[in-house]
């Protein structure tokens, strides 16, 4: 299955891009999390993503899924994911 590159920026170090190679179904799960606006944690590929209603975070550990955040807002991430799904 083809994977698409989702590239986001660490909130603590904006010079380091974080790259996620995700399938369309993974991107749809992420988009659903962001549009739902309820706190959720989901395992997508090899990482856990956690959305708390106002920010998205990720980690490889389920216990601290929202440890690493992104410079982009959830609205910006939603637009990026939607654009990837349309490509």
Q: How far is CA 45 from CA 21, 22, 57, in A?
A: 9, 7, 15
Q: Which band of pLDDT confidence, cut at 50, 70 and 90, is reported for residue 38?
A: confident
Please name the helix (run of DSSP H) or strand (run of DSSP E) that holds residue 38, with its range, or none. none
Q: Is 36 a residue whose pLDDT tops 90?
A: no
What are the boundaries of each domain within the chain? 38-87
% residues pLDDT > 70 (the chain):
98
Q: What is the pLDDT of residue 8?
A: 92
Output DSSP code: residue 10.
B
Question: What average pLDDT score do residues 36-59 get?
Answer: 89
């Amino acid at each position: 299955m083809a994977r698409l590159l989702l590239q986001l920026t660490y909130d603590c170090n904006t010079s380091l891009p974080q790259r996620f190679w995700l399938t369309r179904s993974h991107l749809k799960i992420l988009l659903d999390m962001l549009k739902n606006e309820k706190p959720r944690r989901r395992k997508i590929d090899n990482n856990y993503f956690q959305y708390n209603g106002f920010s998205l975070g990720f980690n490889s550990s389920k216990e601290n899924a929202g440890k690493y955040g992104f410079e982009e807002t959830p609205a910006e991430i939603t637009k990026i994911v939607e654009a990837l799904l349309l490509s």
